[in-house]
Amino acid sequence: MKTKIARRSFGALGLAGLLPATAGAQQDYPSRAITMLVGFAPGGGTDIISRFLQPFLQDEFRQTIAVENRPGASGTLAVTALSRARPDGYTMLMTTISASAVVPPLMNPPPFDIYRDQVAVVHAATVPLVAVVPPNAPSATMRDLIERARREPGVLNYSSSGVATQQHLAAELLSSAAGVRMTHVPFRGTGQAVNEILAGRIDLAIDTLPTYLPHIRAGRVRALAVTLPQRVEWLPDVPTVAELGFPGFDANVWYMLMGPPGLPTPIAERWVAAVNKAFADPTIRQRVRDAGFLIGGGSQADAAAMLKNDAERYAALVRGADIKLD
């Protein structure tokens, strides 16, 4: 009996000894370099918003923040890596609605639980999608492209950064609404998809505005439509899909900063404060908006609600459109 009591006392003392160290580590955070995972190749919207925020966050935290691209499996490889990381704030993730909310439940088996294996920290940005074609494409308008797709089922192709990503879902929703069939060509990230349409080997891409806005402005692709219910300030002359006879059509992509499961609240709050402070800076706000992003921010509770609401909304859309992973 005495031995048991002694062990309990030792265990209690040991735990008490550890708690101040843990609290101290959180107070000292960050004391070394941080890795920010990105689940897609360089050049896509997730990578762009990460690198916009990177310099400001480095100054704010006074530590190096290394953006590490880990493309594959529609962005879920990076989320899976995050789910296995130590909950100390030194591995974070910039993710998308597709990689963290839409794709995982469709996989068999799901690589992670979208609520249990990642911690929503703060909303980074939202972007509309834009439908683009090569500059020499025979379709001058979205109506022309849809008519051609009706005449030639399965002949036209479209790209995405992976199966069941927002690009894929938006194109499938358009195909379903228009009653056409096009061939899906998924790539391991947006960068590869962009290269293919610039080379004229892809007929259509529906992708994030920041990804294609520089190419639209340079004349390397032509914009046919945007996917929000209203026109966007960056392309005021480009119609919405809804205007073209598909009322209610609405698709966008959000980007969110995530932490590993068990991330301490004080560390999450440091990131929330840092990102909101970044977006309060006029220079950063203007740079982000010029690139085609709608500014994010808000609280951790806001981010968690966004994850839950959109996961449920897109699950219903996927079921309705009968979209499945191949």
For 38-76, what is each residue's pLDDT tens digit? Answer: 999 898 889 999 999 999 999 999 999 999 999 988 899
For residue range 245-293, list pLDDT tens digits in order. 999 888 889 999 999 999 999 999 999 999 999 999 999 999 999 888 9
* Residue of 325 and 162 predicted with greater confidence: 162
User: What integer is the mean pLDDT of 120-130?
Assistant: 96
Strands 204-208, 119-133: pairing kind: antiparallel
SS3 percent helix, strand, coil of the chain, rounded to 5, is 45, 20, 35
Residue 188's pLDDT is 78
Give me the chain's average pLDDT, please.
89
Residue 11's pLDDT is 43
What amino acid is encoded at 49 in this protein? I
User: What integer is the mean pLDDT of 26-32?
Assistant: 90
Burial of 317 by CB count in 10 Å (0-12 exposed, 13-18 middle, 19+ buried)?
Answer: middle
CA-CA distance, 120 to 301, in Å (whole number)?
8
Residue 29 in 3-state DSSP? coil
For residue range 284-312, list pLDDT tens digits in order. 999 999 888 999 999 999 999 999 998 99
For residue range 7-23, list pLDDT tens digits in order. 333 344 444 444 444 56
Alpha carbon of 247 to those of 36, 38, 140, 172, 178: distances in Å?
A: 39, 34, 21, 16, 11
Strands 119-133, 294-297: pairing kind: antiparallel
Confirm if 249 and 227 have CB atoms less than 8 A apart: yes
The two three-digit tokens of residue 319, written as one number: 């079921």
CA-CA distance, 299 to 304, in Å (whole number)?
9
Alpha carbon of 284 to those of 44, 72, 88, 177: distances in Å?
A: 19, 30, 27, 38
- Give the domains, in start order, of the chain with CATH numbers: 33-126+252-321 (3.40.190.150), 128-244 (3.40.190.10)
pLDDT exceeds 80 at position 24:
no
